[in-house]
Structure 1
Amino acid sequence: MHARHSLILVGLVIMNLAGAAPIYRSNSIFRPVEAKQGMVVAAEKLAAEAGLAVLEDGGNAIDAAVTTGFALAVTLPRAGNIGGGGFMLFHEAETGNTYALDYRETAPLKAYRDMFLDEDGEADPDLSRNSPLAVGVPGTVAGLIAAHERFGSLPLERLLAPAIALARNGFNIHPGLAKSLSEARDSGRMDATASQVFFKKDGSLYRAGERLVQADLATSLERIAKEGLAGFYAGPTAQAIVETLSKNNGIMSLEDLADYKPVWRDPVSGTYRDFVIYSMPPPSSGGVHLIQMLRLLENFPLRAWGQNSGQTVHIMAEAMKRAYADRSKHLGDPDFADIPVDEILSEGYEQKILNRINSMTPTASSDIDPGEPRPVTESPETTHFSIVDARGNAVSNTYTLNFSYGSGIMAEGTGILLNNEMDDFSAKPGTPNAFGLIGGEANAVEPRKRMLSSMTPTIVTRNDEVHIVTGSPGGSRIINTVLQVALNVMEFELNAAEANNAPRFHHQWFPDALYVERGFPSDALHSLRLIGYPITEEGTIGSAQTIVRAGDVLTGATDPRRDGGAAVGY
C-alpha cells in the first residue's frame, strides 16, 4: 500500500465507528433501459422520443441532438431553450476523436465591468437576474447548427420538424411541467408576453394533461428550419429580441446577434484507472475540476471504504473544497484570461493538495482560501441529454437559460424565452452569485466575453469505446453530481440506474457546509458529524441523464429526482 494510504487509514478509525456504508444497490424498479443500436436519454419524454426517431431513420448522434435540443425548447420551457446557451461534447467513433463545442452566451458589446453595481458600489442581483441587462447573447441556435453543419447527415428541416409540430399542434403537458408553471406564476417573474403563452386567457393554470400550444414559437422555429442562422440572428426574430429588451433599457443590439459565433475547443481529458474522461474546457469550469477531483481521488481506496461511507465522503468533500476554491480564483473565458488548466491538472499541484488533506478532520474552508459564506440554492432550470447512435458516436449536451424560465422575458411575437446568464459573471469579484459561487477577476464582465459556467457534459471511454455519457443540471452542484455518477460507474461498478439513483452530497468550499440528500446513509452522517462536519439535509441534488455501455448493450436511465424524463432506445 502506498504510504499516503497508510496515513489516511490510521486517521479514519474514528470514522469507522458507524461502519462503512455498503455499495448502493437499487431494487428491480430501477433497472436501466436497454438497447442494442441507439439511445437517447433526456429530461422530457417527447423530446427524447423525437431524437430516437431520428436515429431510427438513419440519422447520427448529432442529428438526434439537434432534434432533441430544439424539441426541448418546446416541451421543457423552463430549461430547454433557443434563448440561452450551453456546451456539447461529441465523440466520433470512426476516428476516436472527441470534440467540444462552446455555444455559451456572450456579453453584449455595450456591457461593462460595473454594470450590475448599485450607487454604493455593491452588487445588485435584481439587475443581473431580473432585468433586460441580465440577458446574454443567445448561443443555442448557432451551436446546434454548427454541430449539424460539421457532423450532421440529415437535412435541417427534417431535424426541426418534430419541434415545429409540437409547438404548432401543441402537446399534453406532464405533471412536472404543470407544477413548474404553477411555481413560475407564483414567483411573478414571467413578463406579460410569456404569461399569455404559458397561462390561460383568464390567468388560470394549465393542468396536467391539458394541451399547450405555442404558435409564435412554431413560427420562429420554421424560420430557423428554412433560413438557418439568419432565421434567428437576423430578420424578424433578431429584431423582436432587440426591440423587446430595448423597451426597458436593455443593451443588446442587432450587431451583437449577427456577430455571435460558437467556438470549437479541445476538450479537457484525463484518466481514472483504465478509463479516459473527456469533458468541457473553460469557460466551463466543469471539466477542469471534474478531472482535478478524479486525479486526487484515484490515490485513495474508495471501493474498499464503500460507496457513500464516512471515509469516502470525507475524502471526496476535501477534494471538492479544493476544486471549488480554485474555480473561484482561476476560471473564466480563455479568450479573455490566461486560465492555468495545465497547472491545475499537473502532478505537482495534485501532490501539494494531497499533502494538505487531513485524514482525520475536515479542513475549514477559511483555511483553504478566504471567502464569503452565502447559502447555496438548487437550480432546477439547466437540462442535459445524452445520446449514443448505432455507429458508436456519442453526444453529451448541457444547456440552460440560467434561472427557471430564464429572465422571464419573452421576445414579443417569437415565443422565445430569454436567458439571465449575465448573473454568472462576477458582478463584483469576491461576491457570491445566485448559487453561492464566488468569482474572481477572470470572470469579470467584459463585452463579448463568455461567462463562467459549471455545466459538465462528460463522455468516458474504456478500451477506445464509449462507456459513459452523462451530465446534469444543478447550478453550482453540477460538477459534483457528475463526479458522483461517474465514480458510481467507474469505481463502484453500478449500472446506469443505480449510478443515477444513489444518494448524493455536495461541498463547494463556501459556505463551509456539507449538503446531503434526505435519506443519505445514517451511519455515514453519524461518522461525519463525529469528526466535525456541519451537515445540512435537503431535498435533491442534480438530475443526471446517463448512458452506460454494458458489453454490447446500451443501458440508460433518466434521473427519478425530476418528473417527465425518459431513456428510450432501439
Structure 2
Amino acid sequence: MKKTLVILITTFAVLSVAVEAQSTSAPHGGNPPLVSGRSVITTKYGIVAATQPMAAMSGIQILERGGNAIDAAIATNAVLGLMEPANNGIGGDLFAIVYEAKTGKLYGLNASGWAPKAETLELLAAKGITKMPPSSVWTATVPGAVAGWVAMKERFGTKSFSELLAPAIYYAENGVPINEVTAEDWRKFEKALAEHPYPKATFLVNGERAPGFGEIWKNPDLAKSLRRIAENGHDGFYKGATALAIVETVKEFGGVMALDDLADFRPEWVEPISTTYRGWVVYEIPPNTQGIAALMMLNLMEQFPMHEYGFHSSKSLHTMIEAKKLAYADVLKYVGDPNFSKIPVQQLLSKERAAKRAKLIGPRANCSVQADAVAGLSDAGGSDTIYMTTIDKEGNIVSLIQSNYSAFGSRIVPKGTGFVLQNRGALFTLEPNQPNSLAGHKRPLHTIIPAFMKKGDAKIGFGIMGGWNQAQAHAQFVADVVDYGMTIQQALEAGRITKLNFTGCDVFVEESVPESVRNELLSLGHQLSVYPRRGMGPFGLGQAVMDSNTGAHYGASDPRADGEAIPQPGPVFDQMSIPAEK
C-alpha cells in the first residue's frame, strides 16, 4: 500500500509541471486533488491559447512565418474581434504584460482610452445625468486597442501590420464559422442590436438575427477598417476615415468626442506591480486597473494555511471570499487613474498591512465589510472580454486582455466601420472628488487585467476574464497552482467561486464544489447561487502558457468556452528532402 501511494504521488508530481519546474515542489496532503478534463498541451515551439481556435490558429500561422509571441498576439486578437464581437474588438481597450526572454524583463502596457476632453461632471449634470448609464454615448471612451497593437509592434514586433492583420481581413471578407458558445451568447443580444440601424446592419444576419452555430460570418466593413490600419498603422484608425466615422456617429447620439481626442491618444508602458506568494512572484498591471486587488487578496490568503485547509474545503473557500471583500473594498476607496490622483500602491501591497487586515477575517461570513458604495462603480456589471496568451520558441510570452466592457459595449457602431465602441466609461462615478470621478481625458477604473507569475525557471502567463470576477479568479488560479500543486490546465478547470458586488454575503459557486462543502459555507452565513460547470455563469474564461527552461513549453485553455491552446508544430517540411517522382 505504501509503495502504491508513493507511486501515485510521484506520478502526480511529474504531471504537475507548474510545480515540477521549481527546485522545490509544493507539498501534497494525502491524495492529490483530482480535477479531470483536458490535458496540458506541450511543444518545443510556440503556443497560442485563445477563446476561438481559428483565432489561435491565426497566431500559430504568424509564428510559422517567423513571427514572435508579440506578432502572434496581435494577429490573434484581430481575429478574435471578428469572431467574438460582443466581447472585444478595435473599438475597445487593451492591456498586456510582455515577458522578454533574452533579458528576463517584464513590460506592462496600459492601452486604456480616455474620456473625451469635453465630457465632464459639469456637462452631464447640466443634462440632468446623475449616474453613469450602463450603455450610452456617454460611456464611449476613446478605443485603446489599436494604439496598444502599435505600441507592441513598434517595441517588440517583427512583422508588418499588413501581414499581422491578413488573417482577420481574410476571414472578415471570406467568412468564418461561428462557434457554439459564441453563437449562444450572441443570440441574447438580438433585440438590443436591432434598436439602431448601424449595429443591426453590422451584427445581425440580414438585419434580423444573430449568426447560428457553424454559420459562416462575414464583416466586410471591419475588413475595410483593418485595411486602413494595415496601410497606415496608428493614423489608419485614429485619423482619417475611421476617426471621422467615430466622431460623426458619436455626435449623432449627442456625444462630444472630437477628432483631437482620438489623434492625441497614446498608450503607456508601465511597470507591473507584484507581490510574493509562498515563494512565487505574481504580477499585475498597476492602477487604473483592479489588478492590485488580486495581489491584496494573495497577501491576505498568505496569512492562512491554505494547503492544510485543502482544495475546495469550506475553510479555504471562506478565506478566499472574505479576502475578496477586504481587497475590493480597498479598490473602491483608493483606485483610479494615477495621472489624476495619487494611488497608495506600496501601502496597499504592504505585507504588514495584510497581516493586520487578515485579522478581520473571522470564522463566519461578514456581510458588512466597509466598501464605500460609489454610484456607477460598485453596481456596474460589465464582464464581456477576451483573454489570450502566447509564447514563442524563444520563450517570449504575451499575456493580453481586450474588451468592450459590456456585451457589444455602448451599442454604438460608427457608420460603415464594422465595430462597436466600448462602454468602459460606465465605470466612472459622477460623484465629485473621488479617485474615479469622471473628467476629460481621464481613464476610468478598469476591470480587465492580464497576469504573470514566476518562480525559479517557471514562468506562467495567465488570465481569467469576467468583469469584477477577474482579480478573485486570478487569486484562485495562483492558489490552485501554488497551494494545491495543480497543472495550469487543472487550475483553469477547477471550480471557482466569485462575488461580483461589494456588499452582502451573496456568492456564486460552481457545482463542481462538493455539495457538502457548499452546505458548510451556508452554515457559515454565505448565501450561495450554484451554477453548472459550463452554464454561462459569471466565473470567467481563462488561458495560460508556461515555460520552465526544460526545452518544452506548455499551454492550457478553459473548457467553459470554445477555446483551445494550439501548439506550433516543428519546421518539418523546411528540412525535408522529397525525391522527385520517376
TM-score under structure 1 normalisation? 0.88
Query: Counterparts of 1:281-296 in structure 2 under 5 Å?
Result: 281-286=286-291, 288-296=292-300
**Aligned AA (1:263):** E
Take 1:189 and 1:375, find their aligned partners in 2: how far apart are those partners?
29
Query: Counterparts of 1:373-384 in structure 2 under 5 Å?
Result: 379-384=382-387
Aligned sequence identity (%): 33
Residue 86 of structure 1: SS of its match in structure 2?
strand
Residue of structure 1 equivalent to 2:136: 131
Deviation string, structure 1 residues 483-526 (Cα, Å, up to 9, x no partner): 11122112211112211111111235424322212332212212
Pair 1:535-2:543 in alignment:
no
**Quick one: which of 489, 498, 510 aligns to 2:490?**
498
Take 1:506 and 1:211, find their aligned partners in 2: how far apart are those partners?
35
Take 1:548 and 1:529, find their aligned partners in 2: how far apart are those partners?
37
**Quick one: which of 77, 85, 93 aligns to 2:93?**
85
**Aligned AA (1:458):** A
Q: Quick one: structure 1 residues 348 and 159, their matched pair in 2 at CA, closer, same or farther if it must change by over 3 Å? A: same
**Aligned AA (2:492):** N
**Quick one: which of 419, 439, 442 aligns to 1:449?**
442
Residue 395 of structure 1: SS of its match in structure 2?
strand
Take 1:370 and 1:150, find their aligned partners in 2: how far apart are those partners?
40
65-74 vs 115-124, which moves further: 115-124
Q: Quick one: structure 1 residues 191 and 30, their matched pair in 2 at CA, closer, same or farther if it must change by over 3 Å? A: same
Q: Does the CA contact (< 8 Å) of 2:220 and 2:418 recur in 1?
A: yes
Residue of structure 1 equivalent to 2:559: 560
Residue of structure 2 equivalent to 1:10: none
Take 1:259 and 1:461, find their aligned partners in 2: how far apart are those partners?
36
**Aligned AA (2:560):** R
Shift of 1:47: 0.9
**Aligned AA (1:50):** S
Q: Does the CA contact (< 8 Å) of 1:190 and 1:408 recur in 2?
A: no
**Two-structure CA RMSD over aligned residues (Å):** 2.3
Query: Counterparts of 1:167-246 in structure 2 under 5 Å?
Result: 167-188=172-193, 191-201=196-206, 203-246=208-251
547-556 vs 335-344, which moves further: 547-556
Residue of structure 1 equivalent to 2:410: 407
Pair 1:66-2:71 in alignment:
no
Residue 401 of structure 1: SS of its match in structure 2?
strand
Residue 189 of structure 2: SS of its match in structure 1?
helix
Shift of 1:199: 2.0
Q: Quick one: structure 1 residues 338 and 190, their matched pair in 2 at CA, closer, same or farther if it must change by over 3 Å? A: farther
Shift of 1:409: 1.3
295-304 vs 314-323, which moves further: 295-304
Take 2:454 and 2:439, find their aligned partners in 1: how far apart are those partners?
37
Q: Quick one: structure 1 residues 369 and 173, their matched pair in 2 at CA, closer, same or farther if it must change by over 3 Å? A: closer
Deviation string, structure 1 residues 463-489 (Cα, Å, up to 9, x no partner): 1x4522111221111111111112211
**Quick one: which of 542, 545, 565 aligns to 1:544?**
542
**Aligned AA (2:480):** N
Shift of 1:98: 0.4
Query: Counterparts of 1:344-359 in structure 2 under 5 Å?
Result: 344-358=348-362
**Aligned AA (1:48):** A
Query: Counterparts of 1:240-319 in structure 2 under 5 Å?
Result: 240-286=245-291, 288-319=292-323
Q: Quick one: structure 1 residues 187 and 193, their matched pair in 2 at CA, closer, same or farther if it must change by over 3 Å? A: closer
Take 1:290 and 1:419, find their aligned partners in 2: how far apart are those partners?
24
Q: Does the CA contact (< 8 Å) of 2:505 and 2:525 recur in 1?
A: no
Deviation string, structure 1 residues 233-252 (Cα, Å, up to 9, x no partner): 11111001111111121111
Deviation string, structure 1 residues 389-427 (Cα, Å, up to 9, x no partner): 111111111111111111111111111211111101123
Take 2:476 and 2:399, find their aligned partners in 1: how far apart are those partners?
17
Shift of 1:189: 6.4
**Quick one: which of 351, 361, 366 aligns to 1:363?**
366
Take 1:532 and 1:32, find their aligned partners in 2: how far apart are those partners?
37
Residue 557 of structure 1: SS of its match in structure 2?
strand
Q: How many residue pairs are counted as aligned between the two chains?
A: 532
Pair 1:26-2:35 in alignment:
yes
Structure 1 residues not aligned, in runs of 5+: 1-19, 430-439
Pair 1:329-2:333 in alignment:
yes
Shift of 1:350: 1.4
**Aligned AA (1:323):** A
Shift of 1:33: 2.1
Shift of 1:320: 0.7
Residue 365 of structure 1: SS of its match in structure 2?
coil
Residue 382 of structure 1: SS of its match in structure 2?
strand
Residue of structure 2 equivalent to 1:7: none
173-182 vs 337-346, which moves further: 173-182
Structure 2 residues not aligned, in runs of 5+: 1-28, 569-582
210-219 vs 513-522, which moves further: 513-522
Take 1:302 and 1:222, find their aligned partners in 2: how far apart are those partners?
51
Deviation string, structure 1 residues 215-244 (Cα, Å, up to 9, x no partner): 111111111011011100111110011111
Residue 500 of structure 1: SS of its match in structure 2?
helix
Q: Quick one: structure 1 residues 110 and 495, their matched pair in 2 at CA, closer, same or farther if it must change by over 3 Å? A: same
Q: Quick one: structure 1 residues 96 and 47, their matched pair in 2 at CA, closer, same or farther if it must change by over 3 Å? A: same
Deviation string, structure 1 residues 266-313 (Cα, Å, up to 9, x no partner): 100121122111111111121x12111112212221112111101101
Residue of structure 2 equivalent to 1:56: 64
Q: Quick one: structure 1 residues 77 and 119, their matched pair in 2 at CA, closer, same or farther if it must change by over 3 Å? A: closer
Q: Does the CA contact (< 8 Å) of 2:94 and 2:401 recur in 1?
A: yes
Pair 1:393-2:385 in alignment:
no
Shift of 1:213: 1.5
Pair 1:477-2:469 in alignment:
yes
Residue of structure 2 equivalent to 1:3: none
Residue 442 of structure 1: SS of its match in structure 2?
coil
Shift of 1:376: 6.9
Q: Does the CA contact (< 8 Å) of 2:47 and 2:392 recur in 1?
A: yes
**Aligned AA (2:418):** G
**Aligned AA (1:487):** A
**Aligned AA (2:298):** L
